[in-house]
Amino acid sequence: MGEYIKVASDGGEMHSYIVLPKKPNGGGIVLASAVWGLGPDLIALADSLAELGYAVLAPNLFWRLQPVHAMEYDFTHIGFVTGLADSGSDAEGLVDLRNAKAELVKRSDVKRVAAMGWCYGGRLVCLIGTEKTFDATIGMYPTYLEKHLHVAKDIVIPMNIHLPEEERYGTIEHAVEKMVEAFGASPLVQTYVYPGVNHGFDFAEPHPHANHTASRLCDMRIIRYLDAILVRGEKPSA
């Protein structure tokens, strides 16, 4: 449905997937992938969002190490993919998100753009909520966000954060509770905790932590949020 393109960023080019809707609704979305990159599930999601009227661009945020990165959920390679994420800097990732948004705006007639990310990408879209590059962000189980609780007071755009109750990658005790407490204090942020699920709960099988019920509930919340912010232009007050 879409096509692969090159997006200029930080002196290089990001292998990216872009899909434009047949019936645009005025909204655009930049997808910041998990450590698996531009895998088939992410591409399928981009296509589905375009069917709803959104223009979508998904950049390879790991382009500095892997020019093309798209892997199936094979957990025998978990060390490799987490190594990619650990080798990059948040500052570089934020540069890439800004450039991805600029490219999407250039190629489409969008009025408002959201950033949505998972895992590594989830942390990046939460951090970019401290600036007004995007109109909204959605962070799916943002890895290590508990190390950045200080940014919660600096959020300036609407944000959704979706967290698993049993976050296996937390670096401190009660990491999920601390993220909810810090970010939930902002009137611009909505936090959701999904009981009894773990990191990756919204992935498709054979991901070991896929959970159909939590995933569908999460999907509904996200679609309502995107419609309110990007299509209807609602603006929660700070």
What pLDDT, in 10s, does the model give residues 153-201?
Answer: 999 999 999 999 998 888 889 999 999 999 999 999 999 999 999 998 9
Read off the pLDDT of each residue in 143-154 and give the average, rounded to a whole number. 95
pLDDT band at 222 (very low <50, low <70, confident <90, very high): very high
Identify the pLDDT of residue 75: 61
Identify the pLDDT of residue 65: 87
Residue 81 has pLDDT above 60, yes or no: no
Residue 238 has pLDDT above 80, yes or no: no
CATH code of domain 3-231: 3.40.50.1820
Residue 52 has pLDDT above 70, yes or no: yes
Residue 150 has pLDDT above 60, yes or no: yes
Identify the pLDDT of residue 79: 64
CA angle 214, 93, 20 (to 5 degrees): 65
With the C-alpha atoms ordered 117, 121, 125, 126, is the resulting torsion angle positive or negative?
A: positive
Residue 124 has pLDDT above 60, yes or no: yes
Give the pairing type, strands 12-19 and 3-9: antiparallel
Identify the pLDDT of residue 47: 98
Give CA–CA dist 93/183, Å, rounded. Answer: 21
Read off the pLDDT of each residue in 132-147 and give the average, rounded to a whole number. 96
Identify the pLDDT of residue 168: 85
The per-residue pLDDT of the chain, averaged, comes to 92
> Across the strands, what pairs with 19?
56
Identify the pLDDT of residue 58: 98
Lowest mean pLDDT among 41-50, 140-149, 180-189, 199-208: 199-208
Q: What is the pTM for the complete model shown? A: 0.93
Identify the pLDDT of residue 117: 97
Report the side by side order of strands in the sheet with 3-9. 3-9, 12-19, 55-59, 27-32, 112-118, 136-140, 159-166, 189-198
Give CA–CA dist 224/67, Å, rounded. Answer: 34
Identify the pLDDT of residue 170: 85
